[in-house]
Chain A
Amino acid sequence: VGARVTGRFVALGHDFAVEADDRALAAHIETLLAPLARPGRPATRYELRDRGTGVGRRYLVRFEGRHVTASPRAEHAVDILLWHVNQEAVQSCADHVVLHAAAAASGDRAVLLPGPSGAGKSTLVAGLAGSGLDYVTDEAVAIGVGDGLVTPFPKPLGLHSGAVALFPELARIASAVRLGTAGPRHVPPAWLGARPARAASSPVLVVFPRYVAGSPVSMAPLHPAEALVALCQAAFNLSRTGRAGFARLAALARTAPAYTLTGGDLAGAVAAVRAALEATG
């Protein structure tokens, strides 16, 4: 069975395709990255090689001929490949300030959800997307330094097993397509019935989520100066965008109301964010 090359994908400014020995793996990657598919020829290429059962770390990932990882498990190799895609996507944004944040949009109006890993960004944006908002991203919000617009990056959502259990539709779909036994850590938005955002949007609301298991949902306004500090701390590339990126984040903090959201109830959190988003309109 020959290698198969996926179609072209564009993740922010990162333009690539994946060549895989295993046609099922290539098809799986195409499913995961479907919202990033674009026509045309890719600028760069990943290779996902299966070196056979006799090799301990049989799955090899290379990017532009350079070693990325080798793993005994296909799903781990795919995890690393997707991680590398995210890294390259963030690095590709010289004219954007990129936040560690999720985002969803209602038309051309976006709510940003900045926070560190474990804050509940992906779960909350999955809930928002499942409730009818467009899915923008769950990891990297790219804001144009010049125009302040958010470029969509609808990568597969990274959901932990506890979060997966909150979405019954995933159990049915994932059983047919998941790799190995690790479960669907990477979830294409389509599996949640969500629409990926296609066009740029204006950030009109910022919510800093903090997941606290078993806690009721509580939303509190944040002083704009404190919001700016938190936005700067969430930025991946402020050292590169410098004072222009800082000024863009200040403009965001000045114009978009900001809140902290604490709690462990997804439905309540989704309702609170949607109400705040509607209030900005």
Chain B
Amino acid sequence: VSGPRRAPWVAWEVLGGRAVLFDEQACAVHLLNESATVVWGLLDGSRDIRAIAAELPGGRGPAIDGVVALVRDLSRLGLVETC
């Protein structure tokens, strides 16, 4: 299975449950909320969107839409590779 993965030029740290992303190419930082931080931690390329949603608290149901939107936003920012 191949799924979205964190871009290799992004360094990240989790502090107090929230991830801070450092895009080394753009020299830009981004702050994720706690839910997005959980998703970010799962973006290692081994899971597709459904599998990621299934691992979130509360199950896959409405979470899929949120994961899709988040991955799309992260991809637009160049922080995630989707293929």
Interface SS, B side: strand
Contact yes or no, B20 A250, CB < 8 A = yes
Quick one: which of B16-69 are within 8 Å of A by CB? 16-20, 22, 24, 27, 29, 31
In the docked arrangement, what's the CA distance between A194 and B17, Å?
Answer: 41
Given A243-B22, A246-B22, CB of A233 within 8 Å of CB of B16: no
By a CB distance below 8 angstroms, the chain A residues around B19 are 225
Cβ–Cβ contact A254 & B11, under 8 A: no
Kindly state whether residue A171 has any CB partner on chain B within 8 Å.
no
For A226, the chain B residues whose CB sits under 8 A away are 31
Least CB distance, A243 to chain B, in whole angstroms: 4
5 additional A-B pairs beyond A225-B18, A242-B24, A247-B11, beta carbons within 8 Å, are A228-B13, A232-B20, A232-B29, A238-B22, A250-B13
Residues on B with C-beta less than 8 A from A227 are 15
The 15 listed contacts between A and B (C-beta, < 8 Å) are A225-B17, A225-B18, A225-B20, A226-B31, A228-B13, A229-B31, A232-B20, A243-B22, A246-B11, A246-B24, A247-B11, A247-B13, A250-B15, A250-B20, A254-B15
A223 contacts B by Cβ under 8 Å: yes
With both chains docked as a complex, state the minimum distance between the C-beta of A233 and any C-beta of chain B, in angstroms.
Answer: 7
Name the B residues within 8 Å of A242 (CB-CB).
24
Interface residues of A (CB under 8 A from B): 223-229, 232-233, 238-239, 242-243, 246-247, 250, 253-254
Candidate in A223, A224, A225, A250 with the most chain B CB atoms within 10 angstroms? A225
Given A238-B27, A239-B27, do A228 and B11 touch, yes or no (CB 8 Å)?
A: no
Cβ of B20 and Cβ of A243 under 8 Å apart?
A: no
- Looking at the assembled complex, report how far the CB atom of A71 sits from the nearest CB atom of chain B, in whole angstroms: 34
Q: Are A253 and B22 CB-contacts (below 8 A) given A225-B31, A229-B29, A238-B27?
A: no
- Shortest CB-to-CB span from B7 to chain A, Å, is 13
Q: Tell me the bound Cα distance from A224 to B13 in angstroms.
A: 11
What are the residues of chain A within 8 A of B11 when measuring CB–CB?
243, 246-247
Q: B33: shortest Cβ distance to chain A, in Å?
A: 10
Residue picked from B20, B24, B27, most chain A C-beta under 10 Å: B20
Report the nearest B residue to A223, measured CB to CB: B16
Give the shortest distance, in Å, between B26 (CB) and chain A (any CB). 9
* Across-interface contacts of A229 in B (CB, < 8 A): 20, 29, 31
Contacts of A225 in B (CB 8 A): 14-20, 31
Most chain A CB atoms below 10 A, which of B14, B29, B31: B29
Q: How far is the CB of A115 from chain B (nearest CB, A)?
A: 17
Pairwise interchain contact B24-A228, C-beta atoms closer than 8 A: no
Q: Contact between B29 and A224 (Cβ–Cβ < 8 Å)?
A: no
Residue contact B18 to A223, C-beta cutoff 8 Å: yes
Chain A residues within 8 Å of B17, by CB: 225
B18 touches A232 (CB 8 A): no
How distant is the Cα of A61 from the Cα of B29 in the complex, in angstroms? 38
Distance in angstroms between the alpha carbons of A166 and B31 in the assembled complex: 38
Which residue of B15, B22, B24, B27 is within 8 Å of A224 (Cβ)? B15
User: Would you list the 4 A-B pairs with minimal beta carbon distance, nearest first?
Assistant: A225-B18, A250-B13, A243-B11, A224-B15
Residue of A at shortest CB range from B16?
A224
Minimum CB distance partner of B17 in chain A: A225
- Are B15's CB and A253's CB within 8 A? yes
B11 to chain A minimum Cβ distance, whole angstroms, is 4
Kindly identify which residue among B13, B14, B15, B31 contacts A246, using a CB–CB cutoff of 8 Å: B13
